[in-house]
């Protein structure tokens, strides 16, 4: 129970902060970086194709430029239609020796459509990938300043491969990369002897289907309601001080009415606390040729970037002792 109280401790701290109004000017937007990053990712990138290899190399080189230790988790598997293919999860880490991690994640593969070889999968999930890299870029003065070499908390950026089904979504034809990585991390012992690497993830924040107009994010899991609430507090605070575009709010202070199957499932099954940031209902362009640059809603993307950057900074900067949200699951 004590552990659970700390969830509210974290969210109360953010609530108090909102009274004094957050100022994001400490970490200004870098839209030029965002646009360039998105352009590097938003191309057809079906697993096993040249486009996929290009995007894989692009993400690895961006992580390196941003000063992350970068590893890959590569494996081959037989899949429908394509046969044997090689998947590559990409993991960027800051403070690799830290006791615990805040993990941000999305998938970088695009779905295969036989009749649409030009499918660029903008919201699914080129934009989430660009958001993660832009968050690291805009916070880099902090991440390579006060945050550097912290031993209590590190930052992990996970780019999953093979989220999409090759044929029809099922337990075996979907989330290839996250299934493999969750198994690998749960079998990897930490060098400090304190359990497996997966147990060092305090929370996995999964971004998916972001970039369309009128996004709505609901809270999916009771043990991360406090964190979801904090995102809403940050949004309200930035909105009240006219630091956001438009008036509509994206973080809904309500639980979701259902579970959305996604890359978080294998981590959830290993008791990793999950903050699932996916828009529901799904945007109308999802899995259609309209999921492209023309149908992105830039004010929503810019607002999300500001809110999310503030959230990541506040989580890391306010982190004083281990946040154990797992207690609520047991």
Interface stretch with Zn ion, choices 58-66, 121-129, 180-188, 273-281 (CB under 5 A): 121-129
Q: In 3D, which of 6, 22, 31, 1 has the Cα closest to residue 298?
A: 31
Helix 2-19, helix 225-240: angle, nearest 10 = 0
Whether residue 208 lies in the annotated active site:
yes
The nearest distance, CB 65 to Zn ion, in angstroms, is 28
Distance between CA atoms of 111 and 95, rounded to whole angstroms? 33
Residue closer to Zn ion, measured from CB, 107 or 319: 107
The nearest distance, CB 40 to Zn ion, in angstroms, is 19
Active-site hit among 62, 100, 124, 208:
208
Q: In 3D, which of 212, 218, 213 has the Cα closest to residue 278?
A: 218
Long-range contacts of 66-75 (CB under 8 A, 24+ apart): 66/92, 66/133, 66/136, 66/137, 66/140, 67/94, 67/140, 67/143, 67/144, 68/92, 68/93, 68/94, 68/136, 68/157, 69/93, 69/94, 69/96, 73/177, 73/180, 73/181, 73/184, 75/180
Q: What is the CA radius of gyration of the chain?
A: 19
Does residue 109 touch Zn ion according to CB under 5 A? no
Tell me: cis bond preceding 281? Omega within 30 of 0 counts.
yes
Interface stretch with Zn ion, choices 90-98, 123-131, 133-141, 254-262 (CB under 5 A): 123-131
Residue closer to Zn ion, measured from CB, 165 or 201: 165
Interface stretch with Zn ion, choices 56-64, 120-128, 245-253, 270-278 (CB under 5 A): 120-128
Cβ atoms of 146 and 152 within 8 Å: the answer is: no
Interface stretch with Zn ion, choices 10-18, 44-52, 122-130, 188-196 (CB under 5 A): 122-130
Helix 298-318, helix 2-19: angle, nearest 10 = 120
Interface stretch with Zn ion, choices 77-85, 89-97, 124-132, 233-241 (CB under 5 A): 124-132
- 237 Cα distance to chain centroid: 22
Residue closer to Zn ion, measured from CB, 291 or 314: 291
Active-site hit among 62, 109, 163, 233:
163
Does residue 124 touch Zn ion according to CB under 5 A? yes
Q: In 3D, which of 133, 151, 141, 137 has the Cα closest to residue 95?
A: 151
Chain residue at closest Cβ approach to Zn ion? 124
Residue closer to Zn ion, measured from CB, 56 or 124: 124
The nearest distance, CB 31 to Zn ion, in angstroms, is 26
Cβ atoms of 136 and 37 within 8 Å: the answer is: no
Residue closer to Zn ion, measured from CB, 69 or 292: 292
The SS3 call for residue 28 is coil
Q: What is the DSSP code (8-state) at residue 190?
A: P
The nearest distance, CB 133 to Zn ion, in angstroms, is 20
The nearest distance, CB 199 to Zn ion, in angstroms, is 29
Whether residue 262 lies in the annotated active site:
no
The nearest distance, CB 286 to Zn ion, in angstroms, is 7
Residue closer to Zn ion, measured from CB, 233 or 291: 291
Please give the size of the binding site for Zn ion, defined by CB under 5 A. 1
Does residue 208 touch Zn ion according to CB under 5 A? no
Q: Which residues are catalytic?
A: 163, 208
Binding site for Zn ion (CB under 5 A): 124
């Amino acid at each position: 129970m004590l552990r659970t109280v700390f969830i509210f401790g974290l969210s109360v701290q953010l609530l108090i902060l909102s009274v004094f109004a957050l100022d994001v000017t400490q970490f200004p937007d870098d839209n030029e970086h965002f646009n360039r990053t998105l352009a590097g990712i938003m191309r057809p990138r079906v697993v096993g194709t040249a486009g996929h290899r290009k995007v894989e190399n692009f993400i690895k080189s961006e992580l390196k430029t941003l000063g992350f230790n970068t590893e890959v988790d590569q494996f081959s598997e037989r899949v429908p239609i394509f046969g044997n293919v090689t998947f590559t999860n990409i993991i960027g880490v800051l403070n690799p020796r830290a006791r615990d991690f805040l993990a941000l994640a999305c998938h970088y593969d695009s779905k295969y459509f036989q009749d649409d070889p030009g499918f660029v999968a903008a919201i699914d999930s080129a934009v989430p990938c660009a958001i993660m890299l832009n968050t690291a870029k805009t916070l880099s003065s902090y991440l390579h300043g006060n945050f550097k070499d912290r031993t209590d908390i590190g930052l992990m950026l996970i780019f999953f491969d093979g989220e999409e089904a090759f044929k029809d979504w099922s337990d075996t034809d979907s989330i290839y990369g996250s299934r493999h990585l969750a198994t690998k991390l749960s079998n990897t012992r930490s060098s400090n002897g304190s359990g497996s690497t997966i147990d060092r993830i305090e929370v996995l924040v999964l971004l998916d289907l972001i970039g369309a107009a009128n996004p709505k994010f609901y809270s999916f899991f009771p043990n991360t309601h406090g964190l979801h609430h904090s995102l809403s507090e940050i949004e309200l605070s930035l909105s009240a001080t006219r630091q956001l575009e438009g008036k509509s709010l994206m973080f809904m202070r309500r639980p979701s009415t259902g579970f959305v199957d996604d890359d978080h499932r294998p981590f959830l099954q290993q008791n990793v606390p999950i903050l699932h940031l996916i828009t529901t209902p799904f945007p109308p362009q999802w899995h259609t040729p309209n999921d492209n640059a023309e149908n992105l809603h830039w004010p929503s993307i810019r607002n999300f970037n500001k809110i999310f950057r503030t959230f990541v900074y506040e989580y890391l900067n306010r982190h004083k002792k281990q946040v154990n949200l797992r207690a609520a699951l047991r």
